[in-house]
Amino acid sequence: MLTTIVPSGIGSCVWTTTRGARAAGVELRAPKWPGERLLHRLAVVDAAITFELGGARVLSERELRRAEATSRGRAELVAAALASQPGSVLDGRGRERFLCTPVGADGRVHYPDLVVGSPVGLAAIEVEVTRKAPAELRQVLRSYRDARNVFQQVVYFATEPVMALLHGHAHPRTGVWTDGVAQQVGLLPPGPPQYRPDSPFLVRHFQPKDVGVAYQLDLRQVPETRWVSFPQWRELRARWEAEQQGAGFLSWWQAQP
């Protein structure tokens, strides 16, 4: 195992080596160090733990890739974990796909961060903590739109800036609504979204349970002039929770003198 110190507030991250994975009896290969994407990885883990604590069986992107490689592996994994047989869609090269969505006409595919079983079928879970280019996000959302028989529900857990990009936002002064990428590609009707638990497409505010992950995400969403230490951030959170003025934490924080 490799132990690496990660950004302030998160602590230490134990990373599996090839030898360590073999000793632990894990069939997957040791993961590559994600570098700058470490915070995203930790956010995905946080979301996965939340689902599992709620009783859901969760499949990771690595498990999906492994299962997609063979029909037997795919059938065994999905039947055992989710008690559901996935639908299929053809990629740009005519290959049948079951646990991913085709992107473009050249055979490329997109795997969700997680997949869980839901009352409406297989749910693709995406955790987005930083804004993608609208064109890139539009391409991914189109792939989900065109593969609804593979994933019956798509749920995005996102930070506030990404939520605005995904499903739109109201002007802070006039209240005029601007549609997001999901409306542009037809995953949502025009105007403010009206979600139900069984909606085919959902956007939810990502609120990690781990305080270290929450701290790092908050720092990414405020100007550097607002950055504070982890203990100071916890004090700010405590003040905000005590005041309960109705504003979100980031808006409240940035309004402080």
Q: Is residue 76 a part of any domain in this protein? A: yes
Q: What is the pTM of this model?
A: 0.83
pLDDT of residue 5: 41
Q: Is the pLDDT of residue 127 over 90?
A: yes
What is the predicted pLDDT for the residue at 86?
66
Please state, in angstroms and rounded to a whole number, the distance separating the CA atoms of residues 185 and 190.
10
Instruction: Note the pLDDT tens digit of each residue in 92-118.
Output: 888 888 889 999 878 899 999 999 988
Inform me whether the pLDDT recorded for 194 exceeds 60: yes
Residue 48 resides in a domain: yes
Looking up tokens 């950004």, which residue turns up? Answer: 7
- Judged against a pLDDT cut of 70, whether residue 187 lies above it is answered with yes
pLDDT at residue 2, as a whole number: 41
Range of the domain at 7: 1-33
173: in domain: yes
Any alpha helices (H) in the chain, and if so which ranges?
18-23, 38-53, 61-68, 71-82, 134-145, 160-167, 181-185, 211-220, 230-243, 249-255
What confidence score (pLDDT) does residue 6 get? 47
- 120 and 159 assigned to the same domain: yes
In a domain, 44, yes or no: yes
Sign of CA dihedral 31, 37, 132, 152: positive
Contact between 4 and 15 (Cβ < 8 Å): yes
Residue 24 has pLDDT above 80, yes or no: no
- In this predicted model, what pLDDT tens digit does every residue of 46-104 receive, in sequence order? 999 999 999 888 989 988 888 887 766 666 666 566 666 667 889 988 888 888 999 98
Same domain, yes or no: 27 and 55:
no
- Give the integer Cα–Cα distance in Å for 222 and 225: 8
In a shared domain, residues 15 and 39: no
Residues 6 or more apart whose Cβ sits within 8 Å of residue 31: 15, 16, 62
Same domain, 21 and 48: no
Statement to judge: residues 20 and 132 lie in one domain: no
Give the pLDDT band (50/70/90) at residue 243: confident
Give the per-residue pLDDT at 231.
92
10 and 85 share one domain: no
Q: Indicate the average pLDDT of the chain.
A: 85
CA distance 235 to 228: 10
List the single range of 11-20, 128-137, 222-231 with lowest mean pLDDT: 11-20
| Confidence bin at 251 (pLDDT 50/70/90) | confident
> Are the C-beta atoms of 150 and 99 separated by less than 8 Å?
yes
CA pair distance 90, 98, nearest whole angstrom: 9
Does 130 share its domain with 153? yes
Tokens at 111, concatenated = 């795997």
- Residue 131 in any domain: the answer is yes
Share of the chain above pLDDT 70, in %: 80
Are 86 and 119 in the same domain? yes
Considering the domain architecture, whether residues 180 and 151 belong to the same structural domain is answered as yes
Distances in Å between the Cα of 11 and the Cα atoms of 6, 147, 186 are 6, 39, 42
237 located within any domain: no
| Both tokens assigned to 189 | 């009707």
For CA atoms 104, 106, 112, 116, give the dihedral sign. positive
Both 3 and 85 in one domain: the answer is no
In a domain, 183, yes or no: yes
On whether residue 66 sits in a domain, the answer given is yes
